Chains A and B, each alone.
Chain A
Amino acid sequence: MKTADPFQTSNRVLVIGGGVGGIRTALDLAEAQKHVVLIDRANAIGGLMTLLDRTFPTNNCDLCTISPTLSESSRSQYIELMPLTQVTRLSGEEGNFSAQLTTAPRYIDLSRCTACGECHKQFPECVNFNPGLDHRAPTCMRYPQATPQAFSIDMSRCSDPKALADCCPAHAIILDDRQTQSEFQIGAVVMAPGASVFDPAAIDSFSYGRDPDVITSLEYERIMSASGPTQGRLMCPSDGRTPEKIAWIQCVGSRGMQKGAVSYCSGVCCMFALKEAIVTKERFQDSIEASIFYMDMRTFGKDYELYYERSRKDYGVRFVRSRPHSVFRKNGQGQLTVTFASEDSSTMNEETFDLVVLATGFQIGAETRQLAETLGITLNPHGFAQTGAFDPVATSRPGVYACGMFESPKDIPETMTQASAAACRASAHLPAPEALPESEDEQTSERDVTDEEPRIGVFICDCGESIGAVVHVPELAAFAAKLPGVALAESVGHGCSRESMSRIQEAIAEHKLNRVVIGGCSPRTHESRFQDVLQRAGLNKYLLEIANLRDQDAWVHLDHPDKANAKARQLIWSAVMSVKKAHALADNYLPINRDVLVVGGGVAGMTAALRLADQGFRVFLAERRSMLGGTANLVHRTLEGDDVQAFVSDLRQKVMSHLKIQVIFNAFIVDHSGMPGMYTTGMQVGPQMFYRQIRHGVTILATGALPRRPDGYLLGQHDAVMTQLDADALIDEAPEKIKAWDTVVMIQCVGSRQPDNPNCSRVCCQAAVKNALRILEQNPETRIFILYRDMRTYGFQEDYYLKAREKGVIFVRYEPASPPVVRAAANQIEVAFTDPVLGRSVMVTADALLLSTGFISDDESTEDLAMIFKIPRTSDGYFLEDHIKLRPVDFSKPGFYMAGTAHAPKNIRESIAQAEASAARAMTMLSRENINLGAATARVDSQKCAACLICVRACPFGVPFINADGYSEIDPAKCHGCGVCAAECPAKAIQLMQFEDDQILSKVSSLLERMVA
């Protein structure tokens, strides 16, 4: 029943690049019911992140965190996924582009391929699971969870194509596959092509490429990875021994100097190396010595400083502040020699290591530059996308957006943030979604089977040879047919193929089946597909059980077919017994209120409000002061020289005059209640403190942080001492005063990276460099000293750091143990400090002392809001996101998002990106009629509940409470479905739907029954 083809108009977004950034953009758009075409040059999506073993700072395994996202993206009905595809032309303009896409041949029919791996097995010399450490091709599935779950072939490398084609049991290999071209009408483009890794082979002195024990940090990830070439065993590639001493060398290919290196900072390599060092000690042997050679430790992200501290204190990672000169192997030696100069002397040191890991930086490759040319967008001098000063994801071509590494070097959380921001901006070019025709799935009404006797249909896949070669499928089907309650049992070949699915659907109707068992692969990957079949056939989707005959039987017991067959019978028997107990469940839905509450009227709050209002949502913007602008009101210029005040007043003007935005000044939040999509927040407003309630579906918290003004260094006591923010204003407002300064000293990390504010404030290094350059603009003769601990001018900020050094700014490092000493000397300031290079004390008399005081969380207001909204905070008073890596703008509480410095210190541009991201995330919820909360929630039987409070205490999320009737109540809208309460309840009054006790117990008993078969 297709009415209008949605693809005929330009209501889609083209997303280029299927790494985590592109996937996030695509998912955000799809969840907001916008159509997406997601293309990638590679044969599967996933990008760089899928190569990592673990990610900082949680040291979690990556695949487990990203693979649900990957399969989510392949499933979504709004996303058309086109691997092996590139844009070859883009014409037209924003809102109405025409894109020509060219798809390379895969030589495999995806609808037939079952990812059985037979081609891989038979042509092992052609298979590449481990890019970087293993250069073999042509059939390539990079990682086990690849989406689409299929292989691809590089015909140019295949010696005997016919034999390869013949080995495929599914006949999925197409030898005469061809390149195809297609034309798409699209509204906007998001570029997320990522960056490539610097190849250190260009640097002669590091022996990379000549000595197997010198590897890149990405290759080291593959060595640690459980799915890597060594199956997660740590070893030296040269001879397989376990390394005892490992060195990491930072800034390889970044921050200048070496051949082929770039001048900017790659931003993530410090954390990358720290993580590898920690995981090495944590997972392998604590006795392994880990040394990191570095220039500045740039741990400027949220809580990253704590991670750095932990690596030193808890794990004993050694830090050597030096840039090694060379790595080589002396004749006949088992170990590698690293030569380096120490900071305090000019002598050259030598030390030996078993393994040397080069922390290689990122660059934009030729293919991506070509892509930029095809799309007609401007690149910056480093080859990255040129984006707006206060429009962080907008490229030079209207309607074309850039995010992730391609915009500038960045880590995963920032990539996720920008990706969501790009989704927000791109969706503005699409027409507002009309009410979509109900899909057929939803129109089919469900049959009530409550009173029916079980009539179970058992369908057993052979999955080609995957199951069929080990398990005798026809015999198994015959066995299943005799089980009590089974009305039909048959083998279905590839159960997930289109033909088999429609066969199952027909069989359900024909045999009046009311329960279904699939004997096939893992429910993890295929449950939702079979659930769809049930729904299409008019059965509730929860009347299904899957017996995992492939991944957990045939594949792992292929050495004992008899045992595999016996176990298969047991698994089918158990699935049949369990599905008998299954009953229809309804997903929990709640209707949504489409209004938005934004708390905080700084740049982040205003930006989020404006983006949402522009797309038609009504926004209440609550600001506790009587003026919009927040901390940005105090800033005049950015490091890049852009006029902040002009931008802020323009933004303020737009917000104040927007018909969809209601600004509420002097607003103090006092209470809050409700469920996702239907919240009510009370506030006291205005000088009279009138009480007012707002009803809203989502909430964005953008309450900011406070510029710090700590005591010490004579701040507030002497006119010549001021913060960088004060100086920034003074340079604009009273340049004649600045011109009179002969000598200026700046002290970094004042009030940051210390016990009462342990994290890095992120913005102060750039603020110091900015003010130094601006002072020199006024008076090029001024002598400027910047006393620092680590210069953290990440990304392209490094250019300005270099410029400041070229212009004569003197950077002197100090140790926190011996900070600079400051004394008043009439209207000047005497600053004494130790120069580590000269090795002696220096005294400077300065006309001005500028303190880089950074941020501190607005503890009082975040504490109040955390209590009122029931949302978590970090130990240092910032809001805590749901997942530090993958969900950096979402709270764990559904419908709550954060933006700006309330999340962590960041600069204006970064706050804007996060604000746009929060708007995109909010839109995913606001574009729905209802919110689906799934069916796996805990239910309390009030007859059995003794109100003992055990569930109240046990719930990890604080959901159960004792209601007015005196028994425990669990709000399905808040329940996460873990089942902890059900397991703890002494009266067994709580059941977790989908995993009820009788289902689990029938599995237990049926898996244990000794069958005579």
Chain B
Amino acid sequence: MMEDFEPVIIAFCCHYCAYTAADMAGSQRRCYPANVRIIRVPCSGKVDVIHILKAFENGADGVYVAGCLEGDCHFKNGNIRAARRVAYARKLMESVGIEGERLEMVNLSAGMGDRFAEIAGRITEKIRKMGPNPIRNTIRPVA
């Protein structure tokens, strides 16, 4: 049954770097697993702990926040704040019995299409090995 498991992963991507890198992966035709679904944000610092927790509550098997390389944030330090929030959210997850490793912060620049694809692949595989988000059992599918 585990082999059939296709995780669903939400990636919050900063408009200035990761989202652009994702487009770049496209123009280079760098394939990565379709499990990753991207939400564009103006800055990784916009990603709220609530957004992350809601994603898990709604059944995401993994979430990652992708911001600019450290020191390159368009808004000075949004990515540093994002990293802190991710660390905090992991603690909250642990406390309710969801593995903290399901959540990650990654940094990359707009030119790194390859890296984007690599990260998407790596995280998908990691989550696939971890199995479904334990919360999922309580969710009913919607038409």
Contacts and interface: CB of A to CB of B under 8 A. Distances in A.
Asked if A and B are interacting partners, one says yes
A560 B6 CA distance: 14
A555 B109 CA distance: 20
A894 interface: no
B29 A1008 contact: no
A1004 B60 CA distance: 9
Contact of A1005 (B16, B45, B58, B114): B58
Nearest to A977: B42
Interface stretch (A207-215, A677-685, A979-987): A979-987
Nearest to B143: A1012
A58 B73 CA distance: 12
Contacts of B77: 956
Contacts of A954: 81
Interface stretch (A544-552, A767-775, A789-797): A544-552
A567 B22 CA distance: 15
| Interface size, A (range) | 35 or more
Chain A CB within 10 Å, residue with most, of B15, B20, B29, B30: B20
Contacts of B41: 979, 995, 1000
A225 B113 CA distance: 11
A1011 interface: yes
Contacts of A992: 42, 46
A524 B27 CA distance: 13
Interface in A335-359: none
B19 interface: yes
Interface of B: 8, 10, 15-17, 19-20, 22-32, 34, 37-43, 45-51, 54-55, 58-60, 71-72, 74-78, 81, 85, 109-115, 117, 141-143
Nearest to B16: A64
Contact of A557 (B22, B31, B78, B115): B31
Contact of A551 (B10, B27, B143): B27
Contacts of B117: 556
Contacts of A1000: 39, 41, 48, 51
B34 A1004 contact: no
Nearest to A1009: B142
A578 to B, nearest CB: 9
A1008 B10 contact: yes
Contact of A559 (B16, B26, B31, B114): B31
Contact of A552 (B8, B17, B22): B22
Contacts of A1011: 141-143
B111 A225 contact: yes
Given A551-B22, A997-B48, A1008 B111 contact: no
11 contacts: A58-B72, A64-B111, A571-B37, A956-B78, A957-B76, A978-B45, A979-B45, A979-B46, A980-B43, A992-B46, A1000-B51
Contacts of A488: none
A555 B26 contact: yes
Nearest to B120: A556
Contacts of B51: 997, 1000-1001, 1004
Contacts of A564: 34
A794 to B, nearest CB: 28
Given A982-B46, A1009-B142, A1010-B142, A563 B27 contact: no
A308 B43 CA distance: 32
Interface string A33-75: 0000000000000000000010000101111100100000000
Contact of A523 (B40, B50, B143): B40
Contact of A60 (B27, B55, B72): B72
A563 B32 CA distance: 11
Interface string A744-774: 0000000000000000000000000000000
Contacts of B40: 523
A555 B27 contact: yes
A571 B39 CA distance: 10
Nearest to A68: B16
Nearest to A985: B48
Nearest to A1003: B39
B109 A979 contact: no
Contact of B26 (A226, A551, A1003, A1012): A551
A1005 B38 contact: no
A287 interface: no
Contacts, number: 173
Contacts of B55: 1004, 1008
A64 B113 contact: no
A1009 B112 CA distance: 30
Contacts of B30: 556
Contacts of A227: 24, 28, 111, 113
A1005 B56 CA distance: 10
A226 B114 contact: yes
B18 to A, nearest CB: 11
Contacts of A980: 43, 45-46, 75, 78, 81
Interface string A537-576: 0000000000010111101111110011011001100100
B78 A978 contact: yes
A231 interface: yes
A156 to B, nearest CB: 27
A979 B142 contact: no
B26 A556 contact: yes
A586 B139 CA distance: 39
Nearest to B13: A552
Nearest to B43: A978
Contacts of A225: 111
A1006 B16 CA distance: 24
Given A226-B112, A1009-B142, A983 B85 contact: yes
Chain B CB within 10 Å, residue with most, of A58, A550, A566, A983: A983
A556 B43 contact: no
Contact of B59 (A62, A957, A1008): A1008
Contacts of B32: 556-557
B142 A1004 contact: no
B27 A1004 contact: no
A566 B34 contact: yes
Contacts of B8: 1007-1008
A948 B117 CA distance: 41
Contacts of B37: 567, 570-571, 574, 1007
Nearest to B115: A226
A144 interface: yes
Contacts of A522: 23, 26
Chain B CB within 10 Å, residue with most, of A555, A556, A995: A556
B111 A956 contact: no
A978 B68 CA distance: 13
Contacts of B71: 58
Contact of B31 (A63, A556, A1009): A556
A485 to B, nearest CB: 15
A232 interface: yes
B42 A979 contact: yes
5 smallest CB-CB distances across A and B, nearest first, come from A979-B46, A551-B26, A64-B110, A978-B75, A563-B34
A983 B38 CA distance: 19
A574 B38 CA distance: 11
A936 interface: yes
A524 B43 CA distance: 14
A64 B17 contact: yes
Given A567-B37, A1008-B58, A979 B43 contact: yes
Nearest to A984: B81
A671 B78 CA distance: 31
A893 interface: no
Interface in A184-208: none
Given A225-B111, A556-B30, A988-B50, 6 more contacts: A551-B25, A563-B34, A571-B37, A978-B43, A995-B42, A1000-B48
A63 B72 CA distance: 13
A1005 B23 contact: no
Contacts of A63: 110-111
B76 to A, nearest CB: 4
A53 B110 CA distance: 12
A427 B34 CA distance: 52
Chain B CB within 10 Å, residue with most, of A555, A976, A980: A980
